[in-house]
Structure 1
């Protein structure tokens, strides 16, 4: 009986200590994430945005422009188009479920979504379920960037316009089909609301080794308040090639050009 009394008193003491500790923790200020006040001053990019190419041909639109290429880049494009013409197949990396990266990821016929958080704007693209992270915390672009599909991006606000600067892109990324980029490629974007439900993005691509002058293009999106971004899993697509149908694509990579090496044998 005496041992039980000692045990009960120990439990009571432990309970009192726990309550005292909890009370002391409540008196201390819990750390809070700062910077959320800034979000109240930013324009509303919320919701899902669907590309609307009809907006590019209106009074405020800019018709798509073709890149003006250096001679080596033009030779590569000519070879790419000749191969397609002779073989009638798609030989792009996307047939192997490799995401297009920037700038192609923003040109896809699928919706996008913005998420604002302190010091960062994140753009989710339904295509390949990709996320672009644009840091608005005042950091500089890296001097020796890793090569990423969507690049290394920093941004700042000029009024209600988001200005984005991106460098450091994967060698698997193309400026456009058949036009590879060099390590000097730089992409600058202006993103703004033209109307409450119309968003525009002006993209300027510079690459002295590939482009004789910067390529300026514009994208336009309409807000779809009732839409959700859906899951996109490229590997689930039917990529069979047969006489009875299926995608007409070239699934055979040249081992010399394939950065991942030869495909595994069955």
Structure 2
């Protein structure tokens, strides 16, 4: 991967942070009451609690007990077997494809929330940001699918005291390939996934944030709900993580290979054949 591909996401993130800072300042200047009292305080750096599996209370892979259809249970089994043999199974993130929804909410690295009146942003170190539109818009007539999908949310004041405490979100129009986690636990190839979330602070411990995620997908026999919890660090220290930096995984056709320390292509499985070299002249 060229340095240009590494620099572009970093430059985009810097520009986005600058815009968000400006927008936040503007919102405070225009309506101090709205900024200080109406929306919950989700500032800080949020770390996942539990592992990087989709349901953090259960083991990876089969241990997730996902309600998969027989067809997609077979795909999971094939992915697990391929990983055991040295491949990456259905986990396309090894080639630096974005995690996509809902896997990006597994929060491999810390995440950040920026709450503005019309949009809530969720920023990631290893993915492009999520934008959750809370301006009352309808679904787009001609949506452009994206790994993160398109998210529309609305705020809820459960206590009726004039303060929002829950953000309810629906996400559609995702593209693939996507999986729930690194085991290759699959979502359906038709990419008709619909995800609903309820995001809220813990009532007793305001440094815990809960995200109830319900995924409806044709790879599942029923909607699947899990709850993720994130722990707040108020004195944030951000360390950039670029997926493409020193990534030695290579996919050629349908086969996975590795780049060795001396820069040569090497197999990842026993007796793995080399790629098709028909466009290269052999040395004589």
TM-score, length-normalised on structure 1? 0.70
Q: Residue 118 of structure 2 aligns with which residue?
A: 119
Aligned pairs (5 A) from 1:1-266? 37-40=33-36, 41-53=38-50, 63-64=57-58, 65-85=64-84, 87-91=85-89, 92-128=91-127, 130-159=128-157, 160-176=165-181, 177-181=184-188, 182-194=190-202, 195-207=205-217, 209-239=218-248, 241-242=259-260
8 Å contact from structure 1 (residues 39, 116) kept in 2: no
Shift, 1:164, TM fit: 0.7
Alpha-carbon distance in 1 for matches of 2:147, 2:31: 29
CA deviation string 1:40-71 (max 9, x = no partner): 311100111111229xxxxxx98345311112
Alpha-carbon distance in 1 for matches of 2:267, 2:187: 22
Q: Residue 10 of structure 2 aligns with which residue?
A: none
Alpha-carbon distance in 1 for matches of 2:267, 2:45: 32
Alpha-carbon distance in 2 for matches of 1:94, 1:36: 42
Aligned length: 214
User: Is there any run of 5+ residues in structure 2 with no aligned partner, and where?
Assistant: 1-25, 59-63, 158-164, 249-257
RMSD of aligned residue pairs (Cα, Å): 3.2
Alpha-carbon distance in 1 for matches of 2:32, 2:267: 49
Give the 3-state SS of the residue equivalent to 2:82 in structure 1: helix
User: Is there any run of 5+ residues in structure 1 with no aligned partner, and where?
Assistant: 1-31, 55-60, 256-263
Which structure is larger by alpha-carbon Rg, 1 or 2? 1
Q: 41-50 or 76-85, which moves further after superposition?
A: 76-85
Shift, 1:76, TM fit: 1.8
TM-score, length-normalised on structure 2? 0.66
Alpha-carbon distance in 1 for matches of 2:221, 2:31: 42
CA 242–141 in structure 1, closer or farther in 2 if over 3 Å, else same: same
Alpha-carbon distance in 1 for matches of 2:65, 2:109: 22
Give the 3-state SS of the residue equivalent to 2:71 in structure 1: helix
Shift, 1:83, TM fit: 2.2
Shift, 1:243, TM fit: 8.8
Q: 104-113 or 148-157, which moves further after superposition?
A: 104-113
Give the 3-state SS of the residue equivalent to 2:93 in structure 1: helix
